[in-house]
Structure 1
Amino acid sequence: MSADSQHEVGERIAARRRARRLTQTGLAAASHVSYATIRSVERGARRPSDGVLEAIAAALEVDATQLRTGYVGTERRVHRALPELSSVIAGYDIPQGPPVRTPDELADATSTAVSWRLGAQYGRIAAGIPDLLRDAIRYVHTACGPEQRNAARMLATAARTADAIAFKYGERDLSARLIDVMRWAADRARDPLVQAATAYVRTEVFFAARAHAVGLAALEQAIEAAPAPSSRPKAAARGTLHMRAAVIAGRDGNVDRADSHLKHARQLGDQVAVEGIYLGTAFGPGSVRIHEVSVAVSLGRDHLDRALRVATEWKPPAGLSAERRSGFYIELARAQEWAGLQADAFESLKAARAVAPQHTREHPWAREVIGNLRRFHRSDAESLSHFAHWIGAV
């Protein structure tokens, strides 16, 4: 169920087209959709079919959920890809011939897939990740010497990108197997920064199992093994582990250790100074601020003032990854709902959806908050119901 009118969809497509400096004729040519259809859709006179929307989204290099909020084709595409992903990694440790793509082509495709993950464009990931992962596995087995280490780094990154859709769409067993592929690749990369990134992602297994104490112990071991923060990438690698450790310590109810890890993350964020992407993970002062909210929410209702205080002083800038910004607003919504600020919580959820629709739609806390708001906050019942139907909370 879409909460968007035809005019809103048309305006969104037109804005994206102009941002890419395309004319309507150019978009028609790039999408293989007739000029008359493009013109009619942008004017709001016609609602695009799923096929037309997908074609336009591909030409604009965005996920279709960025154009129409209620679009469900992304879920279909992801669920179609998951069995193939499982098949691709079934024999990841067994040589199966050379990759189809060249190393440079693989590197470009992997970099593009990472940008999709950070932008929460899960449908685009699903369309290409099985073939990318297959080639990356084959490249590790056929590369020799130092080249194999580069191939292993690429495989770890590709497996992490695949895990983004497996984990977010509830395929916990597949997610754990993809993390095993990451760990296997990290061992072959013999790169402590890849090892740190793998330890960061592995925490998903502990979150899913609610094994917070052992997850914290694993992260603290990874921090000990991480290189000294003598450069920006090394500081970022250690800083991301401290961020993650702070959150899982919060889930474990350990206030002192959560605060200690958050303090270290803040210091390393200041050392890095500039927000950036380090081996596929966003890190910098902004990411640390977002994790301050995450830690406060993880610690529970008695600490919600900490989350609300951050939100009154700071908002995530557009330069941060869409997934991070969306996560900030979802966690803030949970704190606002706990504090009885129902209208503010709903505004935060709408902000999360505007930034990264699919990330918001698949987030269990977003569903929980909207469900509570719909039951107990009646002043905006129709809009709440639209949102709840969109997110699947009814």
Structure 2
Amino acid sequence: MPVSSKGGVGPRIAYYRSVMRPKMTQQELSDAACVALGTIRKIERGERGVSDATLEAIADALGVDPIRLRTDRGPAHTRVHDALPAISAAIATYDLPDDGPVRPIHELRTAAAESARWRLGAQYTRIARRLPDLLTDLARAYHAAPADERAEPAQLLVRAYRSADAVAYKFGAHDLSARLIELMRWAVPEAGDPLLTSSVAYVRTETFFASRAYRAGLRALEQAVDATPSPTDAPKIAARGALHMRAAVIAGRARDTSAAAMHLDEARGLADQVPEDVYCGTAFGPESVRIHEVSVAVSLGDEHVGRALDVAGEWKPPRELPAERRSGFYIELARAQLWAGLADDSFESLKVARHIAPQHTREHPWVREDAATLRRLKRADSETLTNFAEWCAAT
């Protein structure tokens, strides 16, 4: 149904485009939303209405929920939150899916790969909108396949569950996230891929982060490292290296300095043997290890924070890395800068994170906490900071 521009939709689109850092041009918005430049111009001037589909495409490109463009003030509740029950319903019958057509495996393979790209690009609205149907279709395909042909449907299920989990975890639905991780663990033995098993062990750490059971999480990761295949080729090196990166971070959260340093050293040594690449949706290589070095320093806190600033002073994550990981770097850096008394630098880092991956940044709890702290510290009214705090629902 078309949405009228007379009520201010166009000016709100122009506003959100202008507060991007760096500012997004109309041409850039046109390219990102796949909407004609002339159409963007007319919408912003209020000369034409905008359909629901076009509004969603523009909102995705701007990294805001469409409701933000329809009303002056929108609730923190978003369309992604609205979609979570559908994901939950789709996995409730993972072992007894409803009868229906079974899509060809090549179509399911393409859809699962697309969802993984959306996850790496932090496009959570798209995942939430498409994953419920995909999860149901994959469950049908898995159960319809003969026992000796279930490996690929199981692999695709694991990857789709992981994309759904990214949405659940990032949007605070930790119980749903834990359920999705358990389903990954259920499906992965059928996949017959030990490297995918390592990837699931990496993701499982979210449950330990969410419950603050850091030492238990460290033990689980160390067991997973021991179970990985010998690092004799690039994929196996990446699998083990990713687990060491993750173990270093959770060791930092546990304030186990020696374990964090040991796992970070192991990750560095493995990263030196491979180029930066994406393994089962997890980036690993020298650049990813640098990002995790910042994360470890922030996790350890206190005198270690300076190391995060040193890394950032010498290096910035390249554009080739997944958006979710790059934005995470700047979110972690912003916290380190805030703790170091560099409030202006911290805010700049948050704005960079927002530009890279708006949805990831907006939903990150540290962003809300740090934006609220910055707003209090600045004392004098800052329209830009106030707008940012309202955007991420900081209190």
Answer whether TM exceeds 0.5 for this pair: yes
SS at match of 2:78: helix
Report what 2:265 is aligned to.
263
Aligned to 1:330: 331
The amino acid that maps onto 1:55 is T
Residues in 2 aligned to 1:6 and 1:172: alpha-carbon distance in whole angstroms = 30
Structure 1 residue aligned with 2:135, among 133, 136, 146?
133
Deviations 1:24-78 (A, max 9, x none): xxx45xxxxxx8643324xx524997x64752664x8x82434889667995321
Aligned CA distance change for structure 1 residues 387 and 188 (closer, same or farther; 3 Å): same
CA distance in 2 between partners of 1:73 and 1:333 (Å) = 25
State the alpha-carbon separation in 2 of the partners of residues 53 and 84 from structure 1: 20
Residue equivalent to 1:5: 15
The aligned runs of 1:368-379 (5 Å cut-off) are: 368-378=369-379
For 1:242-273, what per-residue CA distance to the aligned partner results, in whole angstroms no more than 9, with x for missing partners?
11000000000000000111111111111112
- Residues 152 and 191 in structure 2, CA contact (< 8 A), matched pair in contact too: yes
Q: CA deviation at 1:184?
A: 0.6
Letter aligned with residue 180 of structure 2: L
Q: Distance in 1 between matches of 2:362 and 2:245?
A: 24
How far the C-alpha of 1:158 sits from its partner, in A, is: 0.3
Once the two structures are overlaid, the 10-residue window that deviates more, 221-230 or 98-107, is 98-107
- Counterpart of 1:279 in structure 2: which amino acid? C
The question of whether the paired residues in 2 share the 8 Å contact of 1:75 and 1:123 is answered with no
Residues 292, 307 of structure 1: 8 Å contact kept: yes
Q: Which of 121, 124, 147 is residue 122 of structure 1 equivalent to?
A: 124
In structure 2, relative to structure 1, the CA distance for the partners of 1:279 and 1:48 (3 Å cut) is farther
Task: Say which of 60, 65, 84 aligns to 1:63.
Answer: 60
Task: Look up the SS of the partner of 2:235 in the other structure.
Answer: helix
| C-alpha separation in 1, matches of 2:305 and 2:373 | 17
Letter in 2 for 1:365: W
Cα distance change of structure 1 residues 320 and 36 upon mapping to structure 2, 3 Å threshold: closer
Structure 2 unmatched runs, 5+: 1-10
Match of 2:188 in 1: 186
Cα distance in 1 between the residues matched to 2:381 and 2:40: 34
Does structure 2 conserve the Cα–Cα contact (< 8 Å) formed by 1:3 and 1:386? no
2:5 corresponds to which residue?
none
For residues 161-220 of structure 1, the C-alpha deviation after alignment (integer angstroms, 9 at most, x for no partner) is: 000111111111111110011001112112111110100000000000100001000000
Any conservation in 1 of the 2:198–2:228 contact (CA below 8 Å)? yes
Q: 1:155 aligns with which of 150, 154, 157?
A: 157
Report the CA distance between 1:345 and its aligned residue.
Answer: 0.2
Alpha-carbon distance in 1 for matches of 2:316, 2:48: 34
Amino acid at match of 2:110: D
Aligned match of 1:89: 91
Q: 2:248 aligns with which of 239, 246, 249?
A: 246
- In 1: Cα distance, 2:54 partner to 2:383 partner: 32
Matches within 5 A, 1:30-49: 37-41=39-43, 44-46=44-46
User: What is the Cα deviation at residue 297 of structure 1?
Assistant: 0.4
Evaluate the alpha carbon distance shift between residue 163 and residue 19 of structure 1 in structure 2; reply closer, same or farther with a 3 A threshold. Answer: closer
| SS of residue paired to 1:94 | coil
Q: Is the 8 A contact 1:2 1:68 kept in 2?
A: no
Match of 1:295 in 2: 296
Displacement of 1:86: 1.0
Secondary structure of the residue that 2:278 maps to in structure 1? strand
Output the aligned Cα RMSD. Answer: 2.7
- The Cα shift of 1:233 comes to 1.0
Written as runs of structure 1 = structure 2, the 5 A alignment for 1:194-213 is: 194-213=196-215
Counterpart of 2:62, as a letter, is: T
Which letter maps to 2:115?
A
Contact 1:152 1:186 in 2 (8 A): yes
For residues 386 and 3 of structure 1, the distance between their equivalents in structure 2, rounded to whole angstroms, comes to 15
52 and 303 in structure 1: CA distance in 2 versus 1, 3 angstrom threshold? farther
Give the equivalent residue in structure 1 for 2:309.
308
Q: In 2, distance between residues paired with 1:85 and 1:304?
A: 38
Q: Partner of 1:31 in structure 2?
A: none
The equivalent of 2:342 in structure 1 is: 341
Question: Are the equivalent residues in 1 in contact too, given 2:17–2:62 (CA < 8 A)?
Answer: no
Cα distance change, pair 296–132 in 1 and its aligned pair in 2 (3 A): same
> TM-score, structure 2 length as denominator?
0.88
* Contact 2:29–2:61 (Cα < 8 Å) also in 1: no
Instruction: Select which of 219, 225, 228 maps to 2:227.
Output: 225
Separation (CA, whole Å) in 2 of partners of 1:293 and 1:177 = 30
**Distance (whole Å) between structure 2 residues aligned to residue 388 and residue 135 of structure 1:** 40
Report the equivalent of 2:27: 14
Q: How many Å separate the matches in 2 of 1:3 and 1:336? A: 31
Q: Is the contact made by 2:30 and 2:40 (CA closer than 8 Å) also made in structure 1?
A: no
TM-score (norm 1): 0.88
Q: Is the 8 A contact 2:174 2:210 kept in 1?
A: yes
List runs of 5+ in structure 1 lacking aligned partners.
29-34
Residue 107 of structure 1 aligns to a residue whose secondary structure is: helix
Residue identity matched to 1:156: V
- Which deviates the most, 85-94 or 361-370? 85-94
Cα pair distance change 1:208/1:7, threshold 3 Å: closer
Aligned to 2:360: 359
**Alpha-carbon distance, 1:92 to partner:** 1.4
Percent sequence identity over matched residues?
54
Q: How far apart in 2 are the matches of 1:36 and 1:192?
A: 51
